[in-house]
Amino acid sequence: MKKGINNRDVKRVTSLLLIIFGVILLINGYLQGVVHLINLGIGLTVVGWILLIFTFSRCIDYNIVSHVLSDYIELVKRWIRAFDIKTGGVVIPPRENLRDGGIYLPFHERYKVNLSIMDYNTLLVNSDSRDERGLLLPPLGRGLRKLLIEYRGSSYTSPEERDISYLLEDLEYLLNLLEIGSDVKVEIEGDTVVISYRIEDHTLCKRLQREDLCRKYPCPVCGVLVLTVAEFLNKVLKIEEIKNENKRVFIKLKVIRDVL
């Protein structure tokens, strides 16, 4: 289907018109000897140039309560119900065989995490040991994590990136950029990690918490936070609790030590 004139085309035409108008003003001002016109001509050309640069970027359009997301969550909810999963999700940071990380949902309450049997193509984690069986899903926040890498280039490998303040800056930056939240705090005490942040729109939080889905399979916002923290610590984390109190979300995580 052929697309009509969109917003971006209008902006491009406007920027080109600004540049042309600016150049005409500049030449006219120079010929007439009017400095104000020369100034305005230069200024308009620069503004047109900047506008042209902005039109060549991809626009971020993210809606937390979008129906597409709701449908995806509905699908995951069915998986969780079908397998009768009662434990909280386990966040796996990006690894060699799991490039974008994952959320592992064990079938049994006493479980073991065996990373050697999980890879990019795994959905059902099958093993001889009953405790290692489960469901491996891609985390919902991985798209936002990629966005953060694109904008900030953080990989948490260099010594300055290993500082907790750098992580906080990253998370605060992402929430502000998408206008979905603010005031992120990360507290690490031994094996317990508590992330808290203020969310702008908690409609989805309410729904997910009502259905006890948050703890098992967090939404993209909580998902990107837990995934980034797991990547920063380079540790497998268990989601103990996610609660929302007066538009402030608290995520309690626990480091899993005995990972195979």
Cβ 139 vs Cβ 223: under 8 Å: yes
- Contact with other proteins (CB under 8 A) among 173, 209, 243, 259: 173
Ranges of beta strands (E only) in the chain are 90-92, 102-106, 124-125, 134-137, 181-189, 192-199, 237-245, 248-255
Stretch that binds other proteins, among 72-80, 120-128, 157-165, 175-183 (CB under 8 A): 175-183
- Dihedral of CA atoms 188, 234, 181, 179 in degrees, nearest 10, equals 160
Residue 32 found at the interface with other proteins (CB under 8 A): no
Residue 40 found at the interface with other proteins (CB under 8 A): yes
CA distance 246 to 241: 16
Buried/exposed code over 234-258 (b: 16+ C-beta within 10 A; e: otherwise): ebbbbbeebebeeeebebbbbbbee
Closer of 45 and 87 to other proteins (Cβ): 45
- Contact with other proteins (CB under 8 A) among 16, 23, 38, 69: 38
Handedness of CA 251, 252, 257, 260 (dihedral sign): negative
- Contact with other proteins (CB under 8 A) among 58, 110, 210, 257: 58
Residue 257 found at the interface with other proteins (CB under 8 A): no
Residue 177 found at the interface with other proteins (CB under 8 A): yes
Kindly report the backbone phi and psi dihedral angles of residue 50, in degrees, each rounded to the nearest multiple of 5, phi listed first: -65, -45
- Shortest reach from residue 52's CB to other proteins, in Å: 9
- Shortest reach from residue 15's CB to other proteins, in Å: 10
Residue 250 found at the interface with other proteins (CB under 8 A): no
Residue 189 found at the interface with other proteins (CB under 8 A): no
Q: Given the rule CB under 8 A, which residues bind other proteins?
A: 35-36, 38-40, 42-44, 46-47, 49-51, 53-54, 56-60, 150-153, 173, 176-177, 179
